[in-house]
Every structure is written in C-alpha cells, then in structure tokens.
Amino acid sequence: MSLTLENVTQIVDGQYYINQANLTFEPGSFNVLLGRTLSGKTSLMRLMAGLEKPTSGRVLMNGIDMTGVSVQKRNISMVYQQFINYPSMSVYDNIASPLRLAKESEASIKDKVMEIANMLRITPFLTRLPLELSGGQQQRTAMARALIKDADLVLFDEPLVNLDYKLREELRIEMRELFAQRNTIAVYATTEPNEALALGGTTTILHEGQIIQTGPTAETYHSPCNVIAATLFNEPPINMINGNISKNEVTFDNTVHFPLTSELNVLEEGEYQFGIRPSHLSLLPKNDDDLEMSVQVEVAEISGSETFLHVRNAHFQMVLHLSGVHRYQVDEKIKIYVPTHKLNVFEKGGKLIQSSSRKIEDNYHG
C-alpha cells in the first residue's frame, strides 16, 4: 500500500498546524519525520492515521481517497512515546489483543505472538504484567502489539525517547530489520538528527508545519536544500556564517577576509550564508586552499574518543567536532582550518546554491 498526502493543510483556531503538505510514501518504506518539538510531526501523523481531518487537501491510500475515513476503518497502528499497555493484562494478552478483536483463532494468535515476541526478545516475560517489566520491555510490548496485526501503516511518535541510550541503539536496528521484511509503511517521528541517520530510509524535514525537504536520509543530510534544512539536520548544529563574495575575496561576517579559491570563484559576487559542518573543520590544514582562521577556545567538551571544541572570534562562535582527545585552556588562541570544497553555500536565509562538492558514494544497504 502507498500513502499520499495531497496539499494537506490543517488550520486550528486560525493557526497553521500543517501547511500544504505533499508527500508520497512507498509500500515497505521506512520514513523518518525530523523536526523540533511542535514542528508538526504529531499533527502530520494524526492526519495520516485519520485521527484528524485536514482543513483542505486529500489523503490517499493506494490511490484511493481516504480523507475523512475514520481511523477504525483503516488498517493502522500507532506507537507513542509513553508506552501504552493494558495494565491488567499479561504481556501475551496485550500483544494478542488486536488479533482477538479481529476474531482470529487462538492457534493462529499463538503462532503470531510467539513469532513477534521472539523477534523483540520478550518471550521470557509473556506471562508477566506490563508494570513488572523495565521501560524497554514495556515499550517492546507496545511495539509488538502494533506490529502483530500486519497494519498497512505503522506510526511511531518518538517511541524511544524514554529509553536507555544502548537500548535505543539496539531497538533501532531491530526495527530496521523488522520492516525490511514487510510491506508495511513505517513512519517514525524524531527530534534527533543522529537518530534519523541511524534509521536510514527516507527523511522528511518539518519546520513550523511545513515540509522543508524530503528524500533518502543520507542524501538529505549531505545536500540540505536550504538554511533551515542544514540547521535542523546536523548534530552538533552546523556553523552558519554570513559572508560575501567580491571580485577577489570572500569575507566572513565583514571581518575575516580570504582570497577567493577555485571552489568559490564560480559564484557570483554578493551576499551568502556559509554552512560549515563541525566535523569538517580541522586543527591542521588538509588542503592547499583551506581557509585559516584565528579563534579563541571557549570550552572543550571531551568524550572518551571525540572532542567538541567550541571556539569564537570577536564576531561569531563555531564548534569543531574532532576525533580523539584534544585538551585546551579556556581562552587559548588557536588556528582552525576551513576546507573550501566542503562549504555549503546558501542564498542569504534561503536555498542551497553550492553543496560541498563531496561525491556521495554508492552506499549500499544489505
């Protein structure tokens, strides 16, 4: 089954919750909705599910107009951030409940419950009550219930937020594997860029009720279509610097001047915004035409294997994402290097003009 949103708009009390959304999700696809809190992710999912009716526009399933058809008449499952289970039923009965509603035979129910419980590694807990389980196990129970009925569309609304970091890492992989074998459309809302990247599939970036960009996840990350997409889809946040290009130099923030490099002299003279990913900055020059900047250290956040170095000059702040442990004193003066071929150049406040010329390799998923 495919799902299409056609010019879907939702207005509540004069406020645009969703503004002219157009999207198509293919059968068997895994789709991430990425956006900050209140960007419209939940609203969009409720419209997809039929829990809300759009103010205008259509929701199509397999090409058939389903706008206004209630959620009960669609084959849909939802998993929420707060795990919802029936507290008085055993884990087994919780998982079995959608099939019992559909009046399936107990024999067939048993097979299916065992299969999904096995996949989600909750078989040992089937006779327990949900509240006797850990948070991760409870969420897996809720997921098992959502997955058991072979829904056409499964909606996940930040399902892993309340779980341990490690458990999230494991459940993400499980989910990817689970959906790889199915024809179901999965939609997964998250606020975290790194989670979107880990989930793969396609990513749709939402901001203030509008779809900013949609496409294969890695491609969307590497080629953000505008300043908003670049800002939302990077962790730590991408460094954005206003600047301009004149006949023979590029200037950051009216203060830092560099001679024009071959990468940048194809651009017309004018004002731009330069997006520099924290991971592309370095402490040593790597290319002949790297731009050298003098900065002061604000603070170094050092994990066991990486350093997030926050620096500033008189005019702007930047963060560098470095491999390894680098210790610095606060206010220490250092030089950093910007590779010009990795700059994302945007129209001021607007769309991408020149992407980092890095070639996106053929990454294949097995």
- Between 165 and 247, CB nearer to another protein: 165
- Between 73 and 165, CB nearer to another protein: 165
Tokens coding 339:
């590779």
* 190-229 footprint of another protein as x/- string (CB under 8 A): -xxxx--xx-x----------------xx--xx-------
* Per CB under 8 A, 240 contacts another protein: no
Q: How far is the CB of 325 from another protein (least distance, A)?
A: 6
* Per CB under 8 A, 303 contacts another protein: yes
Closest CA to 57 of 17, 116, 98: 17
Q: What string of DSSP letters covers 181-236?
A: T---EEEEEES-HHHHHHH-SEEEEEETTEEEEEEEHHHHHHS-SBHHHHHHS-SS
Interface pick for another protein out of 37, 72, 105, 181 (rule CB under 8 A): 37
* Per CB under 8 A, 28 contacts another protein: no
Tokens coding 222:
């590497």
* Per CB under 8 A, 328 contacts another protein: no
* Per CB under 8 A, 308 contacts another protein: yes
User: Considering only 53-61, 147-155, 253-261, 298-306, which stretch makes contact with another protein by CB under 8 A?
Assistant: 298-306
Closest CA to 182 of 170, 193, 190, 174: 174
* Per CB under 8 A, 248 contacts another protein: no
- Between 89 and 198, CB nearer to another protein: 198
User: Considering only 41-49, 117-125, 142-150, 233-241, which stretch makes contact with another protein by CB under 8 A?
Assistant: 233-241
- Between 77 and 220, CB nearer to another protein: 220
Sign of CA dihedral 301, 302, 306, 309: positive
Q: How far apart are CA 34 and CA 198, in angstroms?
A: 12
State the virtual CA torsion across 94, 190, 1, 179 in degrees, nearest 10: -60
Q: How far is the CB of 3 from another protein (least distance, A)?
A: 25
Q: How far apart are CA 104 and CA 140, in angstroms?
A: 22
User: Residue 154 — left, alpha, or beta (φ > 0 → left; ψ -120 to 50 → alpha)?
Assistant: beta
* Per CB under 8 A, 135 contacts another protein: yes
- Between 37 and 72, CB nearer to another protein: 37
Q: How far is the CB of 218 from another protein (least distance, A)?
A: 4
Interface pick for another protein out of 95, 205, 319, 352 (rule CB under 8 A): 319
User: Considering only 19-27, 106-114, 268-276, 358-366, which stretch makes contact with another protein by CB under 8 A?
Assistant: 358-366
Q: How far is the CB of 273 from another protein (least distance, A)?
A: 17
The footprint of another protein on this chain (CB under 8 A) covers a number of residues equal to: 51
How many CB atoms are closer than 10 A to CB 310? Answer: 17
Q: Which residues are 315's β-sheet partners?
A: none
Rg (CA), the chain: 24
Q: How far apart are CA 325 and CA 317, in angstroms?
A: 21
61: CB partners within 8 A, 6+ apart: 1, 2, 3, 4, 74, 152, 153
Query: Residue ranges of the alpha helices (H) in the chain?
Result: 41-49, 91-101, 106-119, 135-148, 165-180, 193-199, 217-222, 227-232
* Per CB under 8 A, 82 contacts another protein: no
- Between 93 and 157, CB nearer to another protein: 157
Binding residues (CB under 8 A) for another protein: these are 36-37, 134-136, 161, 163-167, 169, 191-194, 197-198, 200, 217-218, 221-222, 231-232, 234-237, 277, 279, 298-299, 301-305, 308, 310, 319, 321, 323, 325, 330, 358, 361, 363-366
